[in-house]
Amino acid sequence: MKAINYYLIIDKVKEPPKKIAGLELTEEQNKEVRYLKGKVVSAGNLVEGVKDGDLISYDKHAGHGIEFENKLYYIIKIGDIVIVH
């Protein structure tokens, strides 16, 4: 599976629940987090500054899911990335 143009295929990184002052936030309280982390599986041929294997932070409302070989991946545009770690 290979991304083309300005698209990226990413695998979401599952993060542990966040804690504040020793208290664990619930899913509902954690929804205020605007950006999610993901690992780039494939970067399109027109994407600059991001390569396969990079860890990124992207807008949680970006893209859509696609199933490939019984695994769920996400397709996002390069403009949805805010940080390359």
Any idea what the Cα angle at residue 75 is, between residues 32 and 18, rounded to 5°? Answer: 25
- pTM of the predicted model as reported, rounded to 2 decimal places: 0.81
Residue 63 dihedral angles phi and psi, to the nearest 5°: 70, -165
In the CATH hierarchy, which fold is given to the domain comprising 7-84?
Answer: 10 Kd Chaperonin, Protein Cpn10; Chain O (2.30.33)
Q: 10-69 pLDDT, tens per residue?
A: 999 987 767 777 777 666 655 667 899 999 999 999 999 999 999 999 999 999 999 999
Find out whether 15 and 48 touch, Cβ atoms under 8 Å.
no
Considering only CA atoms, which of 14, 42, 44, 41 is closest in space to residue 30?
Answer: 14
Question: What pLDDT sits at residue 84?
Answer: 97
**Residue spans of beta strands (DSSP E) within 35-84:** 35-43, 55-59, 64-68, 71-77, 81-84
Question: What pLDDT sits at residue 24?
Answer: 74
Question: What pLDDT sits at residue 31?
Answer: 64
Residue 14 dihedral angles phi and psi, to the nearest 5°: -80, 120
Domain boundaries, the chain: 7-84
